[in-house]
Amino acid sequence: MASIKDVALKANVSTTTVSHVVNSTRFVSDKMRHDVELAIRELNYVPSAVARSLKSNSTKTIGMLIPNCSNPYFAEIVRSVEDHCFGAGYALILCNTDDDPHRQAAYLQVISEKRIDGTIIISTGDDKDLLRLLKGLPIPTVLLDREIKEVNCDLVETAHLQGAQMATEHLIGLGHRRIACLAGPANLNSSAQRIEGWRTALAKSGLTDEASHLLWQSDFTSRGGFTTMQTILRSPQVPTAVFVCNDLMCIGALSAAHQAGVRVPQDISLIGFDDIELARFASPALSTIAQPKHRIGVTAVEMVLERIQGGRVEARQVILQPELIVRNSTARIDQGK
């Protein structure tokens, strides 16, 4: 592999001149520039990003941790983040933690050692290693989608509580009174907020008596939604509607209902959360709470770049508003039920 010294020797110039040509840091005569560029092409010389970063104190890279790369919601956010990073001249290094706190901590340690300029993190939950690493992380960090209250850093997320309340109120407006909640993991703040939004909507309509018997928790996966929905359908008093706390679980729940011969929405209404692209292609198409995924990704990148470029020191929170999307998986209840 050719070095900068090899290029300088072939072009008959100093290594300093080669550096100035490569980095455009000083005027170099046309002849010298031509000789250096010709030597670079002939030797297939690739400048060292590490060496350049040591001089500029910047690698033009941003690291991102996500909990599950198979979840379309995260994939759609990553696409928005990557597009905005590329447009700003930054590369994105993506790490999938697979919902494993130890793997999350290991990746964050690696990222902090790679001279990355900043990080965007969707956490797997509140674990001690993550808290310790985040508090000692010397680079700008933005938490996305899932707040960690013990850490004072930038955050961008959707108003989960309001979105869940909106979904539940939609079902109440259709005449449903026995409304279950199929929630995500208890250790995630976003999941807890969605449960709270469901409870708030029930309380406002005087439907809290059976709320404790209508809450089921799963793992935000389609398989989790499928198996938990099977349990719900076997319960002594099957609900007439279910608020499912993400679209992946809702697709699994829809499959379980179909397998059990339960019609959606004629026999039971289902509404999800996220509005992943697959939601509109389910059968029936899912009613859901849309998170502004593109704006979430763009805002996260803008926040971390603002910190990298020295424009802001204080931590900031951006809470974006969700939107109710009504499709075919919810319907007015048959008054005989």
Q: What is the pLDDT of residues 280-322, one digit of tens each?
A: 999 999 999 999 999 999 999 999 999 888 777 788 999 999 9
* Higher pLDDT among residues 159 and 15, named by residue: 159
What CATH code is assigned to 160-291?
Answer: 3.40.50.2300
pTM given for the model: 0.82
Span 20-62, pLDDT tens digits: 888 777 888 999 989 998 988 888 887 765 555 545 556 789 9
pLDDT digits 0-9 by tens, 59-96: 789 999 999 888 999 999 999 999 999 999 999 999 99
d(CA 190, CA 146): 6
pLDDT value for 273: 98
Architecture of 61-158+293-321 per CATH?
Answer: 3-Layer(aba) Sandwich (3.40)
Q: In whole angstroms, what is the distance from residue 278 CA to residue 270 CA?
A: 15
Residues 28/39, Cβ–Cβ less than 8 Å: no
Residues in the chain: 337
Please state, as a whole number, how many other Cβ atoms lie within 10 Å of the Cβ of residue 172.
17
Domain 61-158+293-321 and domain 160-291 have a common topology? yes
Residue 180's beta-bridge partner residues? 242
Say if CB 183 and CB 194 are below 8 A apart.
yes
3-state DSSP assignment of residue 218? coil
Domain extents in the chain: 4-47, 61-158+293-321, 160-291
- Terminus-to-terminus CA distance in the chain, angstroms? 75
Cα separations (Å) of 80 from 211, 269, 304? Answer: 37, 31, 14
Angle, alpha carbons 283-173-179 (nearest 5°): 70
Confidence tier at 127 by pLDDT (50, 70, 90): low
Q: To 10 degrees, what angle do helices 15-23 and 4-11 make?
A: 110
Instruction: Give the pLDDT score at 99.
Output: 85
What CATH class has 4-47? mainly alpha
